[in-house]
Amino acid sequence: MRKIPLIPAIMIVATWLFAVGFALAYELRQGERLEADAVADAVGVGAVTVAVVGVIAGIAWLAAGPARRRLAAARG
């Protein structure tokens, strides 16, 4: 079984927590009470944010592929 890289895992959790916190703060600022609906909305916002950031990171990773291969070949 492969090990999960620590830094990307921490970044994913941090992004999710930031998005959830931001969404909860927005709900509170609008005068909402922290009920199950508001928390569920915030968790959903966090999940969508992580998905969007993941897609962007994946596209960047794929776009950098040829450059990574050239760099690896240059190093020997």
Query: What type of residue sits at position 22?
Result: F
Q: Whole-angstrom Cα distance, residue 28 to residue 39?
A: 11
Residues of the chain where predicted confidence (pLDDT) is lower than 70:
1, 4
The pLDDT value recorded for residue 27 is: 86
Q: Whole-angstrom Cα distance, residue 12 to residue 53?
A: 9
The pLDDT value recorded for residue 48 is: 92
Q: Whole-angstrom Cα distance, residue 51 to residue 24?
A: 19
